[in-house]
Structure 1
Amino acid sequence: MPEECRNIYKICRRSAGLTQEAAAERLGISVESLRAYECGQRVPPDDVVDLMSILYNALHLIAWHARAKNAMYSRVVPEIQPKSVLEASAKLTNRIFAFAESHADRRLMRIAEDNVIDTTERAEFDSILEDLQEIVEAALELRCAREN
């Protein structure tokens, strides 16, 4: 796991204002196990990460964990950053409006209507997919937003 991913568990625990001892007790695991997860010596099982996300009020921890644990997941699902509800809402709305204003939906339908993406259409198709990926990322950030 990359260095920044090793500490996601620690970052979320600290953001929740919990000590390792308090978190371990509430998670039903040993302090040694939690320390090993936070130092990158071991990867926590999914059920523990699920409990962490609830205890730490950090839904984004699940996405970070899945990306760090599975390279295939990270090829499909964008990396999300924790945001407030306001920030995430504004980002999503801005991405949707930009997509609509560019008429990308209509361009996508023109490309797809013959069920073939030829070499002359590929660059535009890939650009549209990048725009859609930004919308998905923004929607996931809103889904995981904290009410601060």
Structure 2
Amino acid sequence: MQDETRNIYKTCRKAAGLTQEAAAERLGISVESLRAYETGQRVPPDEVVEAMSDLYNTLHLIVRHVREKNAMYSRVVPEVPKMDVLAASARLTNRIFEFAENHSANRLMRIAEDNVIDSNERVEFDAIMEDLQEIVSAALALRCAQSEQEA
């Protein structure tokens, strides 16, 4: 996983069918800079990653870049798996249905109604939060898949 993360810029460029030279030219950066980003010697600035995302047609690149660059972001935003629109749609729908079937929203409201999460409620609250993180992850995966399919 670490090698895949470190080389996400290279992986996305190759998936877009571009050479380092062609990509660097279109991004307005030097081949040496692109090579440094792709080998993990340097971290590209956000504006370069945004341009890469547009050029390579992959919103997922931005998500991965920000998660790796910012530890606080990683603590809040869940991992976003790369998947196609159909799989991402199914995953999101299944997570929402599971949340509803488990009456998690009702349980969350019972816990929150006194505006205190006491020690007796903490385990259940944390489990509900994990379920919500799964829904957020699935929604972001669908957003990334949809944007990549449109181009």
Question: Which TM bucket (shorter chain)?
Answer: over 0.9
Alpha-carbon shift at residue 21 of structure 1 (Å): 0.7
Deviation at 1:79, TM superposition (A): 1.2
Matched positions, count: 147
Distance 2:94 2:107 in 1: 19
- Give the stretch that moved more between structures: 79-88 or 117-126: 79-88
Question: Displacement, 1:15?
Answer: 0.8
Deviation for aligned residue 1:41: 0.6
Letter in 1 for 2:149: E
- Counterpart of 2:78 in structure 1 is 78
Correspondence for 1:124: 124
Q: Distance in 2 between matches of 1:117 and 1:80?
A: 28
TM-score (normalised: structure 2)? 0.94
- Measure, in 1, the Cα distance between the counterparts of 2:127 and 2:111: 12
State the one-letter code of the partner of 1:147. Answer: Q
Q: Show the counterpart of 1:64.
A: 64
Shift in Å, 1:6: 1.6
More helix by percentage: 2
Percent sequence identity is 74
Take 1:57 and 1:91, find their aligned partners in 2: how far apart are those partners? 22
- Cα deviation for residue 93 of structure 1 reads 0.5
Which 5+ residue runs of structure 1 have no aligned equivalent? none
* 3-state SS of 2:89 partner: helix
Q: Tell me the SS of whatever aligns to 1:144.
A: helix
Counterpart of 1:78 in structure 2: which amino acid? P
Deviations 1:72-121 (A, max 9, x none): 11000111121111111110000000000110000000000011111110
TM-score calculated relative to the size of structure 1 = 0.96
One-letter amino acid of the counterpart of residue 20, structure 1: Q
2:11 matches 1:11: yes
